[in-house]
Amino acid sequence: MFALRRQLLRPARGTLNALSRRAYSAGRQEPPKMRYFALVAVLGSGAFVLAANSLDRKKPKTEITEEEYEREKQRNKLKYKQGAFGSDEVSVVFVLGGPGAGKGTQCANIVNDFGFVHLSAGDLLREEQKNPDSKYGELIASYIREGKIVPQEITIALLQKAMKQAIADKGITKFLVDGFPRKMDQAIKFEDEVAVSKFTLFFECPEQVMLKRLLERGKSSGRTDDNAESIKKRFRTFEETSMPVVKYFETADKVEKVHCDQPKDKVYQQVRDIFIRKGLDK
C-alpha cells in the first residue's frame, strides 16, 4: 500500500522540485529557506493578534450604558453638591426616623458629648406657632395636628435663621438637623440653598414600639399630635413622604442606620460609634 503511494507521488514531487530549482535559478523567487522564514513570521504575527484579542475580551467591561451614565451623574451631583454654607464652614447631619423613634433623645446625647447644636424642625415650628407676631401660627397648628408637612419655605427659613444665630452667638458650626428633611423638595432645596449634609442618621424602629412610646409621652407632653388619631396620620406621612428621602440619600451612600428597639443607652452606643467613625467627635 505505502509502496504504491510512493510510486504514484514520486513523479509529482520530482516535477515540483524541478520547477522550484528552475524558478530560483532564473532569479524570480527567493531561496526556499527565506520562504519558510516569511511563512513562520506571518503565522507568528497572526497568532499574536489572536492572543491579544482574546486577552482583550477577558478584560473587565469598562464601557457603561447611557442609562448607567445618567445614574452615575445624578449620584455624583448629589454626592458633591455645594450649598450656601461651604462644607468647610459647617457640618450638617440630618436626623431622620419615624415619630417617637428617639431622635430628640439621642440628639441631646450628641450635643453633650460632641458639642453640636441641636435644631429640631418640629420644635422650631412649634415655637413659631406660639409666636403672636407670626402670620403662620394657624397654618402650622393645623399641619402638625394632621401630621402633614408644613410648606418647605417656612421650615427652611426657620432653620437657616437658627443656624446663622448659633454661628453668630456661640461660634458653633456643627448642626444636628432633627426631623428634617421629611419630603423630597425640602431635601433638594436645603442642600441647594443652605448646606450640604455630611450624612443622614436614620433611626429604624417598628411602628408598635413607636406607638407605645408616643402614647406614653402623650400623657404629659401637651403635644397636639401625641394622640392615637394624629399618630396614625404621622406614621402614614412618614412612610409615604419621608422614606423616599432616606432612599434618595442612600443612593449616594450617605445614610447611617441605628436600630432603636433597644434601651436608650444601647441606642446611644451605636450613635456614638458612628460619630467617632465619621470624625465628627472633635
Q: Which of 78, 104, 151, 224 binds Mg ion (CB under 5 A)?
A: 104
144 is an interface residue for ligand UP5 by CB under 6 A: yes
Residue 33 or 219 with smaller CB distance to ligand UP5:
219
Closest CB 246 distance from ligand UP5, rounded Å: 13
Q: Work out which of 81, 118, 148, 272 binds ligand UP5, going by CB under 6 A.
A: 148
Q: Is 197 in the site for ligand UP5 (CB under 6 A)?
A: no
Give exposure, 86-99, as e/b (b: 16+ Cβ within 10 Å). eeeebbbbbbbbbb
Instruction: For residue 104, give the nearest of 125, 114, 118 by alpha carbon.
Output: 118
Q: Which is nearer to ligand UP5, 122 or 166 (CB)?
A: 122
> Per DSSP, what are the bridge partners of residue 202?
96, 257
Among the listed residues 192, 13, 202, 209, the one whose alpha carbon sits nearest the alpha carbon of residue 95: 202
104 binds ligand UP5 (CB under 6 A): yes
Q: Rule CB under 6 A: say whether 234 interacts with ligand UP5.
A: yes
Contacts to ligand UP5 from residues 33-92, by CB under 6 A:
none
Sign of CA dihedral 214, 220, 221, 223: positive
Number of residues that bind ligand UP5 (CB under 6 A): 31
Distance, CA of 85 to CA of 90 (rounded, Å): 6
d(CA 37, CA 139): 93
Q: Binding to ligand UP5 by residue 213, rule CB under 6 A? A: yes
Residue listed under C-alpha cell 522550484: 20
103 labeled binding residue: yes
Contact present, 121 and 177 (Cβ < 8 Å) = yes
Q: Is 129 in the site for ligand UP5 (CB under 6 A)?
A: no
Residue pair 141/225 in contact (Cβ under 8 Å)? The answer is no
Question: Does residue 235 belong to the site contacting ligand UP5 (CB under 6 A)?
Answer: no
Let me know: does 107 contact 267? Beta carbons within 8 Å: no
Q: Check residue 187 for interaction with ligand UP5 (CB under 6 A).
A: no
Binding test (CB under 6 A) with ligand UP5, winner from 91, 92, 93, 99: 99
Residue written as grid cell 458653633: 172
| Residues 281, 275 contacting (CB under 8 angstroms) | yes
CB of 159 closer than 8 Å to CB of 165: no
Nearer to ligand UP5, 166 or 258 (CB): 258
Q: Which residues of this chain interact with Mg ion, rule CB under 5 A?
A: 103-104
Residues of the binding site for a ribonucleoside 5'-phosphate: 126, 148-150, 179-182, 186, 223, 234
- Interface residue list for ligand UP5 (CB under 6 A): 97, 99-105, 120-122, 125, 143-144, 147-150, 155, 179-180, 182, 213, 217, 225, 234, 260, 262-264, 267
